[in-house]
Amino acid sequence: MAKYLLLKHYRGAPAAVNDVPMDQWTPEEISAHMQYMNDFAERLEKSGEYVDGQALAPEGSWVRYGGEGRPPVTDGPFAETKDLIAGWTIIDVDSHERALELAAELSAAPGAGGRPIHEWLEVRPVMSAHCTVTE
């Protein structure tokens, strides 16, 4: 089994087919989208492939160490994940192909008008503690 991170993006990825921003959806469209996401997670829990997943709030801050006795430094002149990442799901599957299959299914979550979003999801393997470096 290998773990994969499925990232849902607000922006930064290629445009989805149904590219209406969520803040323009009706409450019913948002409910249908969330139900699809919950049903997806529940099905993967039953199959043993679900590890965790969360939707992320749009607000957040970048923080770094500011130096001894100095306050942390926040924000900067760069794209922020609060603007880019809408949420994530971690899955534990038998193959990379299975991870791609599940990401494609998740991409079909309904959006505006109840039509599938066909959004692009980023699929990234989670590094294991047993990674080795080769030259």
pLDDT one-digit tens code per residue, 88-114: 899 999 999 999 999 999 999 999 999
pTM: 0.75
- Higher-pLDDT residue of 46 and 63 is 46
Instruction: Tell me the pLDDT tens digit for each residue of 2-43.
Output: 999 998 876 666 778 888 888 899 999 999 999 999 999 999
Q: Which amino acid is at 130?
A: H
Q: What are phi and psi of 6, to 5 degrees?
A: -105, 115
Decide which of 62 and 108 is more confident: 108
Residue 56: per-residue pLDDT: 79
Q: What angle do CA 6, 102, 12 make, to 5 degrees?
A: 35
Q: Which residues contact 34 (CB under 8 A, 6 or more apart)?
A: none
Tokens 């199959």 appear where? 47
Question: Domain boundaries in the chain?
Answer: 1-55+82-123
What would you measure as the largest C-alpha separation in the chain, in angstroms? 54
Topology of domain 1-55+82-123 in CATH is: Alpha-Beta Plaits (3.30.70)
Sign of torsion, CA 27 28 34 37?
negative
